[in-house]
Chains A and B, each alone.
Chain A
C-alpha cells in the first residue's frame, strides 16, 4: 500500500524510500480503522433507526460548526487531554495503568471537599490549593498499584481495575453519608465562588482549565521527548530487564511513573469539579469516564502526545455531539462508545504496517489464480 504524496519525492537512497513508506503506512493505519469504525457505527445507528449520515453530520455540525460548539467541545476535551497524557507516560513504559479513572475520582472528591471547606482565601490561592490537593490525593492513590508493581511485581491491570471500583464505591458512600446534603440525589455541597475556575464564555463548558491542560500537556511532551527521564521511560517500555541491568533503577522509575500519572489524573478530576460541576456527584465522569476516554485516546494515538491532543479533541467532540444527538435525534448516548470501541479494536492491529505485505500477496495470488483459470478456460 505504498502511496506517494502530492509532491513528487526524489528517492535518494533505499532508506529514504523505507522512511517514506513507513510514514504512509502510519497514515493508512489511522485512516483504515476510522473507516471500519464508522461502518460499525453506521450499522448500530441503523439498528437505532437513525440514518448514519444524518447522525455524523449532526455531530460534526454541533461540535465544530459554531463558536459555542467549539468551546463546548474543548470543554469536554480538557480533562481527556490530561488523562490521556497521564496514561501515555505509563503506556510508554509498558505499564498498563488502567487506574486513571479511580485516581480521577479520588482527586475530584477530595478537592470538591476542599472547595467548600477551606474558607476566606483569595480566588487564585484557593484554586491553586484545590489543584494541589487533587494532585496529591491522585498521586497517593496511584502509589498503591505503583508499589505493588515495582516491589512485588503484581500485575497492575488487576490491581488498578480493582482500585477503580474501590474509589467509585468509597466516594459514592461518602457523598451519600458523611459529606452529603441530605437531598434526594447524593451530592456534596457546592464549592465556594473563590474556588471556581473562570469560564471562557459564560454559556459554554470551556474554562481556564483548558490552559492548565495545555500547559501540562506541553510540559509532559517536553519531558517525554527531550529529557533523560523520558528516554529512560521509553527504554523501560522496550526492554525492561536490559534497562534494569544498565542501572536505570527500574523499580524507582515505575513508582515515579505511577505518581506522575496519578497526580495528573487528580488534577483532571479537580478541574472537572472546579470548572464544570461545582460539586461532587458520583456520576460526574460516567460513560465511560474521563479516565477511560484518556486511556483510549492514548492507545489510539500510540502514546504520541500530538496524537493524544488530536484524539482528545475528537473524543470531546464525540462526547458533546453524543449528548446533543441524544436530545436532538433520540440516539442513545452509548452509540458513540460503540464507535469508540470499534476504533480501538481496529487500531490495535495496525493492518497496513504489519499485514500490508501479506494482504498484497493474498490479492496478487487471487488475481493470478483468476488469470490462470481464465487462461485454462481459454485453452479448453
Chain B
C-alpha cells in the first residue's frame, strides 16, 4: 500500500515536472543573457492552444506540434524585437504578451466553437496512446512503475535538460551567454554580438516553452482549457531565481515544484471534495515558502544597504 502510494507519487512527479523542467531550462538561458522574461507564461499558453487547435482542425498531431513551435517562436520574436531591439520595458512587454496569450485563444474559441473556455480534441488525440511502453524498462520492477509509460516529451526532456546544461558550461556559445548577462560591455569589447546571443537564447526558450505547452495540452490531456499554463511561467521564473540562474540547480527546484503539484493531485483522491479545491493553493504557497527558505540565509548580504555591505 505505502510502496504503491510512493511509486504513484513519483510517477506523477515525473509527469508533472516535465513542463516545469522544460520552461526552466530554456528560461535559464534567457535569464543568464540578462533578460528578465515574464512572457514565458504567455508563450506556453499560446503553444498549448496552437497545438490543440491545429491538431483538431487538420486531424494531424504533427501539424499541431509544428504550429505550436511556430507560435512560440513568433511570440518570442515579438518579445525580442520589442525589448532588445526597441528598448521597451521588459515587464511591460511581458505583461502585454501574457494578456495577449490569454485573450486570443478565448476570442478565437468563442468565434469558432461557441464556448470560450475549452476545446476538446480527444477524437483525434488519445492521451492513452501517447504513452510509450519501453520494453527494457518494463522488466525492471521499480523503475517500470515510475518511468515507464510516460509521454514522448518526457523522455525528450531528459535529453534536452542534459544537453542544454552541457551547452551552457562546455561550449563557446554558453560562455558567450554568461558573459552577455554578467557584463554586456565586456562582451561587446571581445566581439560578441550581444543582441544576437539574446535572440538565440529567446529561441531556445521558445522551443522549450512550446514543448512544455504541447506536453500540457496535446500529450497529457488531449484538450485545451483557458489558463492551462496556470502560472507555470512564473513558477519557473522563481525556480530560476532560487537556483541562482544555474541550470542544474534551477532544474532541481523545478522538480520540487513538480513534486508539490503531484502531491496535490494525489492528496486530492483522499480528501473530501470541498477541501480539494483549497488544495489548489499548494503549488503557489510552496513557491513562496521555498523562496523564503532560499533567500533567508542570504538576506543580510542582499540587504538594501549596499554601502555597508560593500566594505
A and B: bona fide binding partners: yes
Chain A, interface SS category: helix
A271 to chain B, nearest CB (A): 24
Determine if A340 is an interface residue (Cβ-Cβ < 8 Å).
Answer: yes
User: Which residues of chain B are within 8 angstroms of A9 by Cβ–Cβ distance?
Assistant: none
Q: A159-B288, A162-B231, A334-B106 are in contact. Are A348 and B304 (CB under 8 A)?
A: no
User: Which residues of chain A are within 8 angstroms of B285 by Cβ–Cβ distance?
Assistant: 162, 166
A155 to chain B, nearest CB (A): 6
A340 & B231 in contact (Cβ 8 Å cutoff): no
Which chain B residues numbered 277 to 291 have a C-beta less than 8 Å away from chain A? 277-278, 280-281, 284-285, 287-288, 291
User: Which of the 9-residue segments B14-22, B89-97, B182-190, B206-214 touches chain A?
Assistant: B89-97
**Max chain B C-beta neighbours (<10 A), residue from A165, A295, A338, A355:** A165
User: Which residues of chain A are within 8 angstroms of B235 by Cβ–Cβ distance?
Assistant: 162
**Max chain B C-beta neighbours (<10 A), residue from A151, A337, A341:** A341
A152 & B274 in contact (Cβ 8 Å cutoff): no
Which chain B residues numbered 84 to 116 have a C-beta less than 8 Å away from chain A? 86-89, 91-93, 95-97, 99-100, 102-104, 106-108, 110-111, 116
User: Which of the 9-residue segments B65-73, B131-139, B295-303 touches chain A?
Assistant: B295-303
Q: Which residue of B lies closest to A176 (CB)?
A: B277
Interface size class of A (residues with CB under 8 A): 35 or more
A160 to chain B, nearest CB (A): 9
Determine if B307 is an interface residue (Cβ-Cβ < 8 Å).
Answer: yes
A347 & B107 in contact (Cβ 8 Å cutoff): no
A344 & B95 in contact (Cβ 8 Å cutoff): yes
A177 & B274 in contact (Cβ 8 Å cutoff): yes
A155 & B96 in contact (Cβ 8 Å cutoff): no
A344 & B305 in contact (Cβ 8 Å cutoff): no
CA distance A47 to B105 in the complex (A): 13
Contact of A344 among B96, B234, B295 (CB under 8 A): B96
CA distance A66 to B162 in the complex (A): 63
Q: A152-B292, A172-B277 are in contact. Are A344 and B92 (CB under 8 A)?
A: yes
B86 & A351 in contact (Cβ 8 Å cutoff): yes
Q: Which residue of A lies closest to B303 (CB)?
A: A153
A240 & B291 in contact (Cβ 8 Å cutoff): no
Q: A158-B241, A173-B278, A342-B100 are in contact. Are A299 and B95 (CB under 8 A)?
A: yes
B277 & A169 in contact (Cβ 8 Å cutoff): yes
Q: Which residue of B lies closest to A144 (CB)?
A: B288
**Max chain B C-beta neighbours (<10 A), residue from A150, A153, A355:** A153
User: Which residues of chain B are within 8 angstroms of A162 by Cβ–Cβ distance?
Assistant: 231, 234-235, 238, 284-285, 287-288
Contact of B292 among A48, A154, A245 (CB under 8 A): A154
User: Which residues of chain B are within 8 angstroms of A214 by Cβ–Cβ distance?
Assistant: none
B292 to chain A, nearest CB (A): 7
B104 & A348 in contact (Cβ 8 Å cutoff): no
Contact of A338 among B91, B104, B116 (CB under 8 A): B104
A102 to chain B, nearest CB (A): 10
Q: Mark interface residues in A205-247 (1 if CB within 8 Å of B CB, else 0).
A: 0000000000000000000000000000000000011001100
How many residues of B are counted as interface, with CB atoms below 8 angstroms from the partner's CB atoms? Answer: 52
CA distance A217 to B161 in the complex (A): 50
A88 to chain B, nearest CB (A): 14
Determine if B200 is an interface residue (Cβ-Cβ < 8 Å).
Answer: no
Determine if A320 is an interface residue (Cβ-Cβ < 8 Å).
Answer: no
User: Which residues of chain A are within 8 angstroms of B302 by Cβ–Cβ distance?
Assistant: 152-153
Contact of B304 among A98, A153, A332, A340 (CB under 8 A): A153
Q: Mark interface residues in B115-130 (1 if CB within 8 Å of A CB, else 0).
A: 0100000000000000
Determine if B173 is an interface residue (Cβ-Cβ < 8 Å).
Answer: no
A49 to chain B, nearest CB (A): 7
Q: Mark interface residues in B196-226 (1 if CB within 8 Å of A CB, else 0).
A: 0000000000000000000000000000000
A334 & B107 in contact (Cβ 8 Å cutoff): yes
B93 & A348 in contact (Cβ 8 Å cutoff): yes
Which chain A residues numbered 86 to 145 have a C-beta less than 8 Å away from chain B? 96, 98, 144
Determine if A163 is an interface residue (Cβ-Cβ < 8 Å).
Answer: yes
Which chain A residues numbered 317 to 364 have a C-beta less than 8 Å away from chain B? 332-335, 337-338, 340-342, 344-345, 347-351, 354-355
B234 & A354 in contact (Cβ 8 Å cutoff): no
User: Which residues of chain B are within 8 angstroms of A177 by Cβ–Cβ distance?
Assistant: 274-275
Q: A345-B97, A348-B89 are in contact. Are A334 and B78 (CB under 8 A)?
A: no
Q: Which residue of A lies closest to B111 (CB)?
A: A48
Mark B residues whose CB is within 8 Å of A: 38, 78, 82, 86-89, 91-93, 95-97, 99-100, 102-104, 106-108, 110-111, 116, 230-231, 234-235, 237-238, 241, 274-275, 277-278, 280-281, 284-285, 287-288, 291-292, 295-296, 299, 302-307
The 7 nearest A-B residue pairs measured at CB = A337-B103, A344-B96, A348-B88, A341-B100, A332-B110, A334-B107, A341-B99
Given contacts A162-B288, A334-B107, 4 further A-B contacts (CB under 8 A): A158-B291, A166-B281, A169-B281, A332-B111
18 A-B pairs within 8 Å (CB atoms) are namely A148-B291, A152-B299, A157-B234, A169-B280, A172-B277, A173-B278, A177-B274, A250-B304, A288-B103, A332-B116, A333-B110, A337-B99, A340-B99, A341-B97, A341-B99, A342-B96, A345-B78, A345-B93
